[in-house]
């Protein structure tokens, strides 16, 4: 077990036991002092703007926080509200999305904005309602539901999966372990400040419970963590054996006009692989 920072001087090691009462309060206290300041977030205890939360979550699905940080403000300037986004031509949205991942996501973003605009510009305030919108899956619905509407639901992304699998030393390998991880993550969600708790779990995974080297000595939930108590946290989540990958051969042609060097491009259909 690494040395414990005085700031988080919990009396380690402590045998971890379920349930983890006290974990949520400790994590929220840490979040209040150590959270990442991100432009789509509200202050602790304050519900965030659903449009900003939704936009950031869709952007973050394929790009790093650093990339989203550099583009988020510009996107908001161009499309300041969900109604403005819905009313914009899809070509403008696709152009603004350049560099932010697959264009299929931008098409879904636009379709979702239109669906919300059709209902008066207000996002549904339940996880079930959110999950019916185009491009919003279980994780994103949970994240928006918790962060923007205070719903007591877990938002389980890769970071949170890692944290939970270590907290409980989940022996099942991924992805089979996902349902168990989701249930355990949900069992940790407090009734008070569920949105901050969701963001605290994300921040813990992104800054402390790192993939290769968890910083257990600085972790606010170390005293409830089976992985930290055992000292083998980095082994979790357990990875599935890699299936042998088939060799695929392909041929590509580039058509270049001799006269001026123009390159022939064809836009792929919206639902194809590598869709434009």
**So which residues are the catalytic ones?**
57
How far is 23 from 54, CA to CA, in rounded Å? 27
| CB distance 164 to 181 below 8 Å | yes
In the region spanning residues 161 to 180, those forming contacts with ligand SF4, defined by CB under 6 A, are 163, 166-167
The answer to whether 145 contacts ligand SF4 (rule: CB under 6 A) is: no
Regarding 216 and contact with ligand SF4 (CB under 6 A), the answer is: yes
Q: Mind spelling out the 3-state secondary structure of 53-90? A: HHHHHHHHCCCCHHHHHHHHHHHHHHCCCHHHHHHCCH
Q: Give the CA-trace dihedral at 211, 216, 220, 226, to 10 degrees.
A: 90
Candidates 215, 238, 275, 276; binder of ligand SF4 (CB under 6 A) is: 215
Q: Do 219 and 23 touch, CB atoms closer than 8 A? A: no
For the record, the structure tokens of 95 come out as 């152009």
- What is the smallest separation between the CB atom of 169 and ligand SF4, expressed in angstroms? 9
188 part of the interface to ligand SF4, by CB under 6 A: no
Query: Going residue by residue from 228 to 247, which x/- string records binding to ligand SF4, judged by CB under 6 A?
Result: x----x--------------
DSSP string, 110-154: HHHHHHHHHTTS---SSHHHHHTSTT--HHHHHHHHHHHH-----
Position 227 contacts ligand SF4 (CB under 6 A): yes
* Residue 181 binds ligand SF4, judged by CB under 6 A: no
* Residue 127 vs 156, nearer CB to ligand SF4: 156
Question: Which residues in the 194-213 window bind ligand SF4 by CB under 6 A?
Answer: 208-209
88-122 residues labelled b (16+ CB within 10 A) or e (exposed): beeeebbebbeebbebbbbbbbbebbbbbbeeeee
| Residues near ligand SF4 (CB under 6 A), total | 15
Q: Please report, for the chain, how many H helices and E strands are present, in that order.
A: 12, 0
Q: Which stretch binds ligand SF4 (CB under 6 A): 140-148, 218-226, 246-254, 263-271?
A: 218-226
Q: Is 135 in the site for ligand SF4 (CB under 6 A)?
A: no
Where does this chain touch ligand SF4 (CB under 6 A) — which range of 110-118, 134-142, 160-168, 243-251?
Answer: 160-168
**Closer Cβ to ligand SF4, 68 or 209, answer by number:** 209
28: contact with ligand SF4 by CB under 6 A: no
Nearer to ligand SF4, 5 or 92 (CB): 5
- State the residues that interact with ligand SF4 by CB under 6 A: 163, 166-167, 208-209, 214-216, 219, 221-222, 225, 227-228, 233
């Amino acid at each position: 077990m690494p040395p414990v920072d005085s700031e988080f001087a919990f009396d380690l090691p402590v045998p971890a036991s379920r349930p983890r009462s006290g974990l949520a309060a400790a994590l929220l206290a840490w979040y209040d002092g150590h959270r990442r300041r991100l432009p789509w977030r509200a202050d602790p205890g304050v519900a965030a703007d659903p449009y900003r939360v939704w936009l950031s979550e869709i952007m973050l699905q394929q790009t790093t926080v650093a990339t989203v940080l550099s583009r988020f403000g510009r996107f908001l300037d161009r499309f300041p509200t969900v109604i403005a986004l819905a009313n914009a031509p899809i070509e403008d949205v696709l152009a603004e999305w350049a560099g932010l991942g697959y264009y299929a996501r931008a098409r879904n973003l636009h379709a979702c904005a239109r669906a919300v605009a059709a209902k008066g510009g207000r996002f549904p305030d339940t996880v079930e309602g959110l999950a019916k919108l185009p491009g919003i899956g279980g994780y994103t619905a949970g994240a928006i539901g918790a962060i923007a509407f205070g719903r007591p639901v877990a938002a389980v992304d890769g970071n949170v999966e890692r944290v939970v699998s270590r907290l409980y030393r989940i022996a099942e390998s991924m992805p089979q372990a996902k349902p168990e991880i989701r249930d355990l993550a949900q069992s940790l969600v407090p009734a008070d400040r569920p949105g901050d708790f969701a963001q605290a779990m994300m921040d813990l995974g992104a800054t402390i419970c790192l993939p290769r080297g968890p910083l257990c000595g600085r972790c606010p939930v170390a005293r409830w963590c089976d992985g930290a108590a055992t000292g083998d946290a980095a082994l979790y989540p357990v990875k599935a054996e890699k299936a042998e990958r088939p060799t695929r051969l392909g041929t590509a042609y580039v058509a270049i006009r001799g006269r001026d060097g123009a390159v022939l491009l064809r836009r792929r259909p919206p639902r194809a692989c590598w869709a434009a």
